[in-house]
Amino acid sequence: MGQQQTLLLVLVTVVIGISIRVGFRMVNDQNMQQNRDQLMIQIQNIYAFAEQYATKPQKQGGGAGTYTKFTLPKRMKQSVSGTFKATVSGTTGLTIIGTGNVKGNNGTGPVSVTCTITKRKITKMKINN
């Protein structure tokens, strides 16, 4: 094999290796973003459920305009996207945290999204990792 052919073989091997690495990175980034999107959709569903609770009168098992005794139903605490937790703050405040099942940007902790609801409106949706 000539010197040019050997050089070409090494160059092709390097290019293929870099392409494979970039491909894996793209797939991982897509998985992270997809998990974040799924968490945000599920959090919006939880918010809608909490709003239904808040708008019902107390006699019907609702909050009569508040989230005071709101608890997340067992069926909404976990999904294929991850796990969810809701914390009531005051009468019209609620924080929903969704923790995904895919590693986040730091490569160690999972993807996480926090939604802050103030005065019964979503005021902040933050991607934590």
One digit per residue, pLDDT tens: the chain, 129 residues? 688 899 999 999 999 999 999 999 899 899 999 999 999 999 999 999 999 999 999 999 999 999 989 999 999 999 999 999 999 998 889 999 999 999 988 888 999 999 999 888 899 999 988
Task: Indicate the SS3 state at residue 85.
Answer: strand
**Which strand ranges, in their side-by-side order, compose the sheet holding 110-118?**
78-79, 82-89, 93-103, 110-118, 121-127
Q: Is 45 exposed, middle or buried (0-12, 13-18, 19+ CB in 10 A)?
A: middle
Give the range of the structural domain holding residue 12, as residue numbers without chain letter: 3-127
Number of separate domains in the chain = 1
